[in-house]
């Protein structure tokens, strides 16, 4: 039987390594590639940079499809409302899509699948957004999500290497397949502009990371040419405040599915072949496994993106302080390093994973004592690589709520940035009001004499805010509050301790001092390897004691 098929694009905005798309082409006479602007996913809470990236990715995908004598049909509305009309209008007999593990996506897909089957339409989905079948990883772990990275690695090793990616469809694959494109379809199903989506684009800056599969593959090729850099890559050794990215910045392309994670994995394997190279968790392969770790946790832990109802998450009595939250979000904390990072986020939609660590710690357990759920919302809106599982997982990690338990290790909003940018060039780039401050005061402008502030043309309290909290005081108070929250944890939530000789428990001060002494010798990989291949919201690293 020759089918009339809809292939439903969601995240996998690419032709390469798209097994669901290839399934659509088998025994197919008419193909309708569809993308739906679902109001649940694409709404006023999506930042401008993210919108621009999506529209660019859709344009690129449409261009690639047109080279195969097809095109992309873009519609707006709830999928459960849109599809029944398309099924009838196009006389559809098959629906294909890439499997998605997010709770909303699973519910949505179940509803659409039911609607399709009620009309006798066959439904095929394929796994290609992750390296492995996430459900299979959980099954291999006795039905429970692995809660440590090392355990995830053991499970992945047991399953063997990820499947190899498949090629993109060719003109030969499409030679007997038609995509009906009447003239009226050009306007009705075309990709909208940002203006047509009622978005104010006046604040948009330069597009540093254009969306799309072709751009993703181009960037991948460029990085793979740097074999020495790829082989020696260790995520913790990259800089959070370099003026140009010190990582690959392929994370947005993997998030939107412009680049297949499996393609990325196997291209790295080709470069590694026969060469000495870094290993997980710090290597680029390691970053892809961090992504897999958080995806697995997100599937296996109910209410993963919330504190309440999340069995793995420490219950913390976070404060509700709208003024502090707004200051953090709007880069008005009075700490230049923190404000520069938040400015970069708003302007560019991206920042280095260690920069994410610094601002996440500052908002939560470090300084402002505001729930990680509030930070999660801001990142979800503004990050190009905002990913539901990775965002929730990393905010829990960085707030020391789940996975990471060394809450006494706190990022200093002053000292941490100085380690890699002594003269504050990063701050000067993103906070030009401070660019004339001497290096001595660039991280702490409130300490500059009035004459220095006047010479710099920036008076603290007038042209740039005073610090909203005193870090030296609040971080100590917050460590005690975290200690109390940990004391209230149930035995099931507490980190597992090996049986052995009983000894007296060290005080929080003892632990903190011990960690300070070990700082120089700590292998940063155990703490800072991130789930992002390049900056996917990431795990803690060399936290600078205050």
Please report, in range form, the residues annotated as the binding site: 247-251, 287-294, 385-387
Give the number of other CB atoms < 10 A from CB of residue 311. 12
Distances (CA, A) of 39 to 44, 81, 151, 493: 9, 12, 37, 36
User: Backbone dihedral region of 331: left (phi > 0), alpha (psi from -120 to 50 degrees) or beta?
Assistant: left
* C-alpha 448, offset from chain centre: 37
Structure tokens at 522: 């700590």
Give the number of other CB atoms < 10 A from CB of residue 485. 18
- Residues present in the chain in total: 546
Is 45 within 8 Å of 78 (Cβ atoms)?
no
Annotated binding residues for FAD, as ranges? 247-251, 287-294, 385-387
Does an H or E element contain 37, and which?
strand 28-37
d(C-alpha 534, C-alpha 526), whole Å = 17
Is 290 within 8 Å of 539 (Cβ atoms)?
yes
d(C-alpha 334, C-alpha 464), whole Å = 7
Which residues in 316-346 are b (16+ Cβ under 10 Å) and which e? bebeeeeebbebbbebbbbbbbbbbbbbbbb
User: Backbone dihedral region of 91: left (phi > 0), alpha (psi from -120 to 50 degrees) or beta?
Assistant: left
d(C-alpha 502, C-alpha 319), whole Å = 37
| Coil, helix or strand at residue 135 | helix
Q: What residues are paired with 464 via a beta bridge?
A: 460
d(C-alpha 284, C-alpha 304), whole Å = 26
């Amino acid at each position: 039987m020759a089918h009339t098929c809809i292939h439903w694009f969601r995240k996998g905005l690419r032709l390469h390594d798209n097994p669901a798309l290839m399934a659509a082409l088998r025994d197919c006479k008419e193909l309708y590639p569809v993308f739906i602007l679902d109001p649940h996913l694409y709404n006023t809470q999506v930042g401008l940079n993210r919108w621009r990236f999506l529209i660019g990715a859709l344009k690129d995908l449409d261009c690639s499809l047109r080279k195969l004598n097809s095109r992309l049909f873009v519609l707006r509305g709830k999928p459960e409302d849109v599809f029944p009309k398309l099924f009838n209008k196009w006389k559809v007999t098959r629906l294909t899509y890439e499997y998605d593990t997010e709770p909303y996506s699973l519910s949505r897909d179940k509803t659409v699948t039911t609607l399709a089957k009620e009309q006798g339409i066959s439904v095929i989905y394929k796994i290609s957004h992750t390296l492995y079948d996430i459900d299979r990883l959980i099954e291999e772990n006795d039905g429970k999500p692995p809660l440590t990275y090392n355990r995830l690695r053991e499970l992945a090793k047991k399953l063997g290497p990820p499947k190899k990616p498949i090629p993109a469809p060719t003109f030969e694959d499409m030679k007997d397949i038609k995509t009906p494109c009447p003239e009226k379809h050009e306007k009705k199903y075309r990709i909208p502009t940002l203006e047509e989506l009622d978005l104010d684009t006046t604040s948009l800056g330069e597009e540093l990371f254009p969306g799309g599969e072709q751009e993703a593959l181009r960037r991948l090729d460029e990085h793979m040419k740097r074999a020495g850099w790829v082989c020696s890559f260790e995520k913790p050794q990259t800089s959070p405040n370099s003026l140009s990215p010190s990582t690959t910045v392929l994370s947005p392309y993997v998030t939107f599915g412009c680049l297949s994670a499996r393609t990325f994995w196997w291209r790295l394997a080709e470069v590694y072949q026969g060469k000495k190279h870094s290993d997980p968790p710090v290597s680029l392969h390691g970053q892809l496994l961090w992504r897999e770790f958080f995806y697995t946790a997100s599937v296996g832990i109910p209410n993963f993106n919330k504190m309440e109802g999340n069995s793995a998450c420490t219950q913390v009595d976070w404060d509700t302080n709208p003024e502090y939250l707004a200051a953090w979000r709007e880069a008005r904390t009075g700490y230049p390093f923190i404000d520069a990072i938040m400015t970069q986020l708003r302007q560019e939609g991206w920042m280095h994973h260690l920069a994410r660590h610094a601002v996440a710690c500052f908002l939560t357990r470090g300084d402002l004592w505001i729930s990680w759920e509030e930070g999660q919302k801001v990142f979800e809106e503004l990050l190009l690589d905002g990913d539901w599982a990775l965002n929730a997982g990393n905010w829990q990690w960085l707030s020391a709520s789940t996975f990471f338990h060394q809450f006494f290790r706190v990022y200093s909003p002053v000292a941490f940035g100085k380690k890699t940018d002594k003269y504050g060039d990063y701050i000067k780039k993103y906070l030009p009001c401070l660019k004339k401050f001497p290096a001595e005061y660039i991280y702490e402008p409130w300490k500059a004499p009035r004459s220095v502030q006047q010479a710099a043309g920036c008076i603290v309290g007038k042209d740039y805010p005073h610090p909203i909290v005193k870090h030296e005081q609040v971080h100590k108070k917050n460590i005690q509050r975290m200690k109390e929250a940990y004391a209230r944890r149930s035995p099931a939530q507490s980190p597992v301790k090996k049986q052995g000789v009983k000894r007296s428990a060290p005080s929080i001060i003892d632990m903190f001092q011990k960690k300070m002494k070990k700082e120089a010798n700590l292998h940063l990989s155990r703490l800072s390897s991130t789930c992002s291949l390049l900056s996917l919201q990431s795990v803690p690293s060399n936290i600078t004691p205050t």
